[in-house]
Amino acid sequence: MSAPMNSQGFFLTHDYYLSPSWFSRLHSHFDFCLDIDLFASRLHHHLPRYSSRLPDPGAEFIDSFSLPWSGNNYLFPPIVLLSRVINKFITDNCQFSLLIVPFLPSSPVFPSILDLCIAPPILLPDCAVIREPRHCKVSQMMAWTISVSVSLQEDFRRTLSPDCSVMWKKNPYRNINLTGRNLPVGVTKGKLMLTTYL
């Protein structure tokens, strides 16, 4: 039986997740500890505290949107929920989160993700994300460190170079091949953001 899809071709189920080894690498890379895995399940959760979409005796919450988000959150949501996730992240005034989403520059919410960044986005190799066999690769997955803290956002932007590339302004995402280090992914408040690797 095929997994249900929406009109854009994205899976409505969430049968893909970060490998345990890559979660550990990312978690140890940051200066803050994650408190809760907000889009998890009984079989696939990386933190003792997690929220599940379905009834689960081990979950602290059912449906992560039903509770206020506080602390430091691990977010690997279904793609179709991305806009809702970013809206709630901002509304609930979240200070730190690790967000795993594909590189989707055409998404209406992508500029908001860029503006929330407080560290360079990390390119993830294909092996970092485990998918069910029926799932095709949607796009290059990336790890984003985000915060609503304006001071942290500004501190990060001060480390970036001005967006002075004429070619980037004319056609910013044309022929981007996300296979190297320090590649441009977007512009936030006039500053060009580049990728990094672990």
Mean pLDDT, residues 38-46: 87
pLDDT score recorded for residue 85: 96
Q: pTM for this structure?
A: 0.84
The sign of the CA dihedral 158, 181, 105, 119 is: negative
For residue 170, what pLDDT band results from cuts at 50, 70 and 90?
low
Q: What Å distances lie between residue 75 and 48, 72, 134, CA to CA?
A: 15, 10, 23
Q: What's the average model confidence in pLDDT over 67-85? A: 92
Dist CA 72 CA 75 (whole Å) = 10
pLDDT value of residue 100:
95
Which of 109-123, 125-139, 148-162 shows the lowest mean pLDDT across its residues?
A: 125-139
According to DSSP, the β-strands at 129-131 and 61-62 are unpaired
Q: What is the pLDDT of residue 129?
A: 87
**Closest to 98 measured CA to CA, from 37, 153, 43, 140:** 37
Q: Which phi and psi angles does 19 have, rounded to 5°?
A: -65, 150
> What pairs with residue 99 in β-bridges?
75, 144
Domain boundaries 16-160, corresponding CATH code: 3.40.50
Average pLDDT for residues 157-169, to the nearest whole number? 72
More confident residue, 55 or 147: 147
Provide the mean pLDDT of the chain.
82
What proportion of the chain, given as a percentage, has pLDDT over 90? Answer: 43
* Residue 130 C-alpha from the chain's centroid: 15
